[in-house]
Amino acid sequence: MPISIRTAFTDMMKCSLPIIGAPMFLVSNVDIVVAISEAGGVGAFPALNYRPIEEYRKALQQIKSRTKKPIGVNIIVNKSNTRQVDDLKEALDAGVELFITSLGSPKQVILDAHKNGAKVVCDVTNLEHALKVQEMGADGVIAVSTGAGGHAGPISPLVLIPWLTKELSIPVIAAGGIADGKSMAAALTLGASAVSVGTRFIASKEASVDISYKEAIVKSSPEDIVMTTRISGTPAAVIKTPYIEKMGLDLPWYLELLKKNKLSKKYVVPLIHLLGMRQLEQAAVGPTWKTVWSAGQSVGLIDEILSCDEIMARLVREYQETISAVPAARHSDTSPS
């Protein structure tokens, strides 16, 4: 009998496991999405992983032909993404059940998705943004805490998750530092309705990134993860490599000035994003001295490359072992001698 862990998220998405395969730029692909959804979670991928848009349409068709389970698509909703309207339409036409928004206002995505019966969850790093998207009608938020890969937030998950669950009336999904069943159990215990797992799936057999990237995930420790604004202008977590050390972690002063100027901001911010995406793309698909690998602190919990099925099974098994061990700890003799 298939294992299920029921939460507000699984009820909402009609899936059996409260696990989202986080949409990762250049990493998430058709095989990963299908494997995670078929295992009971919700596999997701960024729309911009497939360019031009004809390739994106083809990817949606392939995924939907291989699984009838719910899947997710990440759409960047800031003005630098000129494809967002078309990406949303293609996904809705394909019957995508979940949208994950980031880096902007999700208002239009929420309106259009709800017309189709789809759900929308939004990346947030603080309560102010979480309350705004809840007011817009979001179905949930992804609490991106310190330790997450990509655009990580500044607040500890031990604080961010219970804080948001206390203040919001919609489900909170935990992101940041989750790569095994223990961290999953901790997040759900803190009040999360699901977990978003990213870095663990980079070191998967299905990931089509270069083997050196996967090996870097396995070999790195949490101390190897640094925050840099050089990639996208927004703080992002990457593995410290000789190139990152040489390049530095901050935007050059002149770009910072142009980014803050009202007149130049709308031109400079998209340019920074574009150049950063190209750097990530070159490093992900083949050897280059300009190595920029996105990853979170959970690299410290990853010590081998596994299939997505094996990762999902291990998450559930370790979660159950952790939960079952808690009562024993609670009833142990803690009286002073």
- Categorise residue 176: left if φ over 0, alpha if ψ from -120 to 50, beta otherwise: left
Q: Is residue 241 part of a domain?
A: yes
Same domain, 25 and 108: yes
Give the domain range for residue 60: 8-207+305-321
The conformation of residue 40, written as its DSSP 8-state character, comes to T
CATH number at residue 79: 3.20.20.70
Segment 270-280 mean pLDDT: 51
Same domain, 123 and 174: yes
Same domain, 153 and 272: no
pLDDT digits (tens, 9 = 90+) for 23-50: 998 899 999 999 999 999 999 999 989 9
Closest CA relative to residue 228, chosen from 202, 246, 210: 246
The one-letter amino acid at 262 = K
Q: Is residue 326 part of a domain?
A: no
pTM: 0.85
Residue 286: what pLDDT? 45
| pLDDT confidence band for 284 (50 / 70 / 90) | very low
pLDDT digits (tens, 9 = 90+) for 173-230: 999 999 999 999 999 999 999 999 999 999 999 998 989 999 999 999 999 998 876 5
Same domain, 148 and 275: no
Same domain, 225 and 193: no
Same domain, 217 and 263: yes
Q: Is residue 294 part of a domain?
A: no
Q: Is residue 48 part of a domain?
A: yes
Segment 66-83 mean pLDDT: 89
Q: Is residue 76 part of a domain?
A: yes
Helical segments of the chain, H only: 8-13, 30-38, 53-66, 84-94, 107-115, 127-136, 157-167, 181-189, 199-202, 211-219, 242-247, 253-260, 262-285, 308-330
Q: Is residue 330 part of a domain?
A: no
Which pairing describes strands 42-46 and 119-124: parallel, antiparallel, or unpaired?
unpaired
**How many structural domains compose the chain?**
2
Q: Is residue 51 part of a domain?
A: yes
Same domain, 124 and 107: yes
Same domain, 53 and 107: yes
Query: What is the C-alpha to C-alpha distance for residues 15 and 66, in angstroms, rounded to an integer?
Result: 16
Q: Is residue 141 part of a domain?
A: yes
Residue 289: what pLDDT? 36
Same domain, 140 and 174: yes
